[in-house]
Amino acid sequence: MTDKPNNNEAQGPTRRFFARPRECQFCVEKSTTIDYKQVEVLRRFISDDGRIRPRRQTGTCAKHQRALARAIKRARHIALLPFSGEVLR
């Protein structure tokens, strides 16, 4: 048996990132409602290319993620939000 260091051990101790589970913003703040007319609130849940951010990024619960997606889609249909991201030149 040889005492060669493992590749991971040769580089030193590895630091792992443990993401703590986020709490749903809408469950914590009962006064916050999801409405398709609140464009500023909805923009925080849309990526730069216009896609709806997933739950693992936003930290919303399943119930509020569904309501959020519904509100974003309604706002897109009445032209309050764009369907795609910024137009590249």
In a domain, 42, yes or no: yes
Q: For residues 5 and 41, is the Cβ–Cβ distance under 8 A? A: no
Task: Find the CATH number of the domain harbouring 50.
Answer: 4.10.640.10
In a domain, 1, yes or no: no
Give burial (CB, 10 Å; 0-12/13-18/19+) of 67. middle
pLDDT tens across the length of the chain (89 residues): 566 656 655 566 677 766 667 789 999 998 889 999 999 999 999 999 999 999 999 999 999 999 999 999 999 999 999 888 775 54
In a domain, 64, yes or no: yes
In a domain, 25, yes or no: yes
The whole domain housing 24 covers 20-89
What integer pLDDT is reported at residue 11 of this predicted model?
63
In a domain, 13, yes or no: no
For every residue of the chain, which 3-state class applies, written as one string? Answer: CCCCCCHHHHCCCCCCCCCCCCCCHHHHCCCCCCCCCCHHHHHCCECCCCCECCHHHHCCCHHHHHHHHHHHHHHHHCCCCCCCCCCCC
Report the amino acid identity of residue 46: I
In a domain, 12, yes or no: no
In a domain, 8, yes or no: no
- Cross-strand bridge partners of residue 52: 46
In a domain, 14, yes or no: no
Verdict on whether the full-model pTM lies above 0.85: no
